[in-house]
């Protein structure tokens, strides 16, 4: 646990009592603050009270007179589409608003670091797609290189729930736009921007607000190194803003669309080969084609981002290469969950938007595509140019009819449920086919989370193969 600094003897309000909210209350108390907690959900309030944190109704205006700050959990809106009533009350009372990420960055460093030979460092990763795999891959490389490391944030443990830093340790954080948009302190040593595609637009008031939320990771704290994907205009703009000139190697540009060989520092992947260039000279290369845990161009982009991040720590290319080969992939992200009769079953339940689904569709051949769920604005119409690898689609969930109307000439079958979709796809599949779950939709119409959806797919496939 990271005790929160700066609020000893003060009352701090906590809104949202899920995993991060409860961890925040514990960390505040450990730092000498008095947490005043609330959740709009009664069951969450009851669970918190059982852990010693009785709720105080923060919707009442009179409670704010002696509150030092309000800590808001990531899923709770503070601006768009409408502020939560508790947030509105805090704003009216002039109470500062922060989140657990801001508390982490103001509390992680301690006086004990004065005795360390090597100061701990923080690598923070954001972006629309690939940030979980990138974070896990960085952590894996560090572990392989025997560098002490912890994985936290939107993956692994909550940021305030990790252990205090050891000498030379590296904390790897995956940060969503919900987490970066509100944090008052954002000071990673290395910041990584993978890519940008439309997502969470209602929460951020449009694509500009969404990009602005992610850009804060770079603009607020000024990282020592910035690893930036430049395959979209937003990434190119961000790299331009962070660099003092073409040769400024504090910015490492990454790409899977272009060969980057200018005077600065760049890592790119072309035709399955990763290359590192610095000052116009090649410094390293890795053949990614036979690395089973990193299939497809989207995972090659993740590999470029992870490679660049760990290179800033001085880890050698040959060590990174060996670590990549032992990386088993991340659950629900292009995860091979079974093979039978020459048919491969792949769980990419994390592909909750069309951009992520597109990357999965381009990573495999002869696809039996399971898609659908709680569809997002625009459906899957933008995927039309990328369906060449799809032999047939098997549609589930609330968006099944809508998705069917946008498939053009691609054969489809409306299956409604995951069990029916897997059964139908398996029956149709021939040797060399891939049954791919890449929903291009959220999961909440039928499941608690994308993990729940992916676990259901995996269990059904296991039963089918074992049966």
Q: What is the CATH number of the domain that holds 33?
A: 3.40.50.720
C-alpha separations of 368 from 345, 410, 415, 462 in Å: 9, 11, 13, 17
Q: Is the residue at 1 inside a domain?
A: no
The DSSP element (H or E) to which 71 belongs, if any, is strand 67-72
Q: How many domains does the chain have?
A: 3
Same domain as 406, residue 314: no
Q: Which two tokens stand for residue 63?
A: 């409670």
Same domain as 281, residue 171: yes
The DSSP element (H or E) to which 391 belongs, if any, is strand 390-396
pTM for this predicted structure: 0.85
Q: For 23-51, what is the mean pLDDT?
A: 96
34 is in an annotated binding site: no
Which residues 6+ apart lie within 8 Å of 263 measured at CB?
246, 247, 279, 280
Instruction: Reply yes or no on whether the pLDDT at 41 is more than 80.
Output: yes
Same domain as 297, residue 232: yes
Confidence tier at 329 by pLDDT (50, 70, 90): confident
Same domain as 41, residue 179: no
Instruction: Reply yes or no on whether the pLDDT at 349 is more than 90.
Output: yes
Confidence tier at 400 by pLDDT (50, 70, 90): very high
Same domain as 231, residue 344: no
pLDDT of residue 80: 93
Helix (H, G, I), strand (E, B) or coil at 224: coil
Same domain as 205, residue 287: yes
127 is in an annotated binding site: yes
Name the residue range of residue 17's domain: 11-98
222 is in an annotated binding site: no
DSSP code, position 409: T
Question: Per residue in 264-322, pLDDT tens?
Answer: 999 999 999 999 999 999 999 999 998 988 988 889 999 999 999 999 999 999 999 99
Same domain as 248, residue 148: yes
328 vs 69, residue with greater confidence: 69
Same domain as 364, residue 259: no
Confidence tier at 363 by pLDDT (50, 70, 90): confident
214 is in an annotated binding site: no
Which residues 6+ apart lie within 8 Å of 279 measured at CB?
247, 249, 263, 264, 265
Q: Is the residue at 38 inside a domain?
A: yes
Q: Output the average pLDDT for the chain.
A: 95
C-alpha 219/C-alpha 372 separation (Å) is: 37
Rounded to the nearest 10 degrees, what angle do helices 354-363 and 296-311 cross at?
100
Same domain as 249, residue 171: yes
Question: Per residue in 231-261, pLDDT tens?
Answer: 999 999 999 999 999 999 999 999 999 999 8
99 is in an annotated binding site: no
pLDDT of residue 290: 85
**Domain edge (last residue) among 98, 122, 151:** 98
C-alpha 286/C-alpha 177 separation (Å) is: 31
Confidence tier at 221 by pLDDT (50, 70, 90): confident
Q: Is the residue at 441 inside a domain?
A: yes
CB atoms near residue 295 (< 10 Å): 19
| Share of residues in the chain with pLDDT > 70 (%) | 100
Q: Is the residue at 4 inside a domain?
A: no
pLDDT of residue 197: 87
Q: For 26-43, what is the mean pLDDT?
A: 96
pLDDT of residue 439: 97
Q: Is the residue at 444 inside a domain?
A: yes
**Domain edge (last residue) among 76, 98, 120:** 98
Same domain as 352, residue 220: no
Which residues 6+ apart lie within 8 Å of 175 measured at CB?
101, 124, 125, 126, 131, 153, 154, 217
Strand 34-38 and strand 121-126: the pairing is unpaired
133 is in an annotated binding site: yes
pLDDT of residue 94: 95
**Domain edge (last residue) among 98, 123, 153:** 98
Which residues 6+ apart lie within 8 Å of 323 measured at CB?
140, 141, 144, 145
CATH number (domain holding residue 141)? 3.40.1190.10
Q: Is the residue at 237 inside a domain?
A: yes
Instruction: Reply yes or no on whether the pLDDT at 356 is more than 90.
Output: no
| Share of residues in the chain with pLDDT > 90 (%) | 87
Q: Is the residue at 15 inside a domain?
A: yes
Q: Is 432 left (phi over 0), alpha (psi -120 to 50) or beta?
A: left
Alpha helices in 184-262 (DSSP H): 201-204, 207-219, 233-242
Same domain as 363, residue 256: no
Confidence tier at 73 by pLDDT (50, 70, 90): very high
132 is in an annotated binding site: yes
CB atoms near residue 432 (< 10 Å): 10
pLDDT of residue 122: 98
Confidence tier at 201 by pLDDT (50, 70, 90): confident
Instruction: Reply yes or no on whether the pLDDT at 445 is more than 90.
Output: yes
| DSSP labels, 325-372 | HT---BTTBSEEEEEETTEEEEE-TT--SHHHHHHHHHH-SSEEEEEE
CATH number (domain holding residue 392)? 3.90.190.20
Q: Is the residue at 413 inside a domain?
A: yes
pLDDT of residue 171: 98
Same domain as 347, residue 244: no
pLDDT of residue 328: 82
Q: For 108-126, what is the mean pLDDT?
A: 96
Rounded to the nearest 10 degrees, what angle do helices 317-325 and 131-144 cross at?
110
């Amino acid at each position: 646990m990271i005790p929160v600094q700066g609020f000893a003897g003060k009352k701090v309000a906590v809104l949202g009592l899920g995993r991060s909210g409860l961890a925040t209350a514990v960390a505040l108390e450990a730092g000498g603050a008095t947490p005043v907690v609330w959740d709009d959900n009664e069951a969450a309030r009851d669970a918190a009270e059982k852990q010693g944190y009785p709720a105080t109704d923060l919707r009442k205006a009179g409670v704010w007179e002696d509150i030092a700050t309000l800590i808001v959990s990531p899923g709770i809106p503070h601006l768009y589409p409408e502020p939560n009533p508790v947030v509105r009350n805090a704003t009216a009372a002039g109470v500062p608003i922060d989140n657990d990420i801001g508390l982490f960055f103001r509390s992680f460093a301690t006086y004990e670091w004065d005795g360390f030979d090597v100061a701990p460092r923080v690598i923070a990763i954001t972006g629309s797609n690939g940030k979980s795999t990138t974070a896990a891959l960085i952590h894996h490389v560090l572990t392989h290189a025997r560098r002490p490391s912890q994985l936290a944030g939107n993956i692994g443990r909550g940021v305030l729930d990790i252990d205090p830093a050891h000498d030379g340790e590296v904390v790897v954080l995956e940060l969503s736009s919900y987490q970066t948009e509100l944090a008052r302190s954002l000071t990673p040593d290395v910041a990584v921007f993978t890519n940008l595609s439309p997502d969470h637009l209602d929460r951020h008031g449009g694509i500009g607000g969404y990009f602005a939320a992610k850009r804060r990771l770079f603009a607020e704290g000024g990282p020592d190194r910035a690893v930036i994907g430049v395959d979209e205009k937003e990434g190119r703009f961000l790299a331009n803003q962070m660099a003092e000139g073409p040769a400024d190697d504090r910015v490492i540009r990454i790409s899977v669309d272009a060969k980057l060989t200018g005077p600065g520092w760049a890592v790119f992947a072309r035709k399955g080969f990763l290359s590192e260039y610095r000052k116009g000279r090649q410094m390293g290369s890795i053949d990614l084609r036979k690395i089973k845990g990193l299939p497809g161009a989207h995972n090659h982009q993740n590999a470029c981002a992870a490679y660049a991040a760990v290179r800033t720590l001085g880890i050698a290319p040959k060590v990174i290469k060996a670590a990549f080969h032992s990386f088993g992939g991340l659950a629900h992200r292009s995860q091979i969950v079974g093979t039978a009769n020459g048919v491969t079953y792949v769980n990419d339940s994390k592909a909750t938007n069309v951009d992520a689904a597109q990357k999965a569709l381009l990573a495999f051949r002869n696809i039996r595509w399971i898609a659908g769920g709680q569809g997002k604005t625009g459906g899957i119409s933008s995927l039309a140019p990328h369906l060449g690898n799809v032999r047939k689609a098997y549609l589930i969930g609330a968006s099944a009819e809508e998705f069917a109307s946008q498939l053009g000439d691609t054969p489809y079958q409306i299956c409604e449920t995951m069990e029916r979709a897997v059964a139908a796809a398996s029956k149709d599949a021939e040797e060399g086919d891939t049954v791919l779950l890449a929903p291009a939709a959220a999961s909440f119409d039928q499941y608690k989370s994308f993990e729940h959806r992916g676990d259901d797919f995996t269990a059904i496939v296991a039963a089918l193969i074992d049966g």
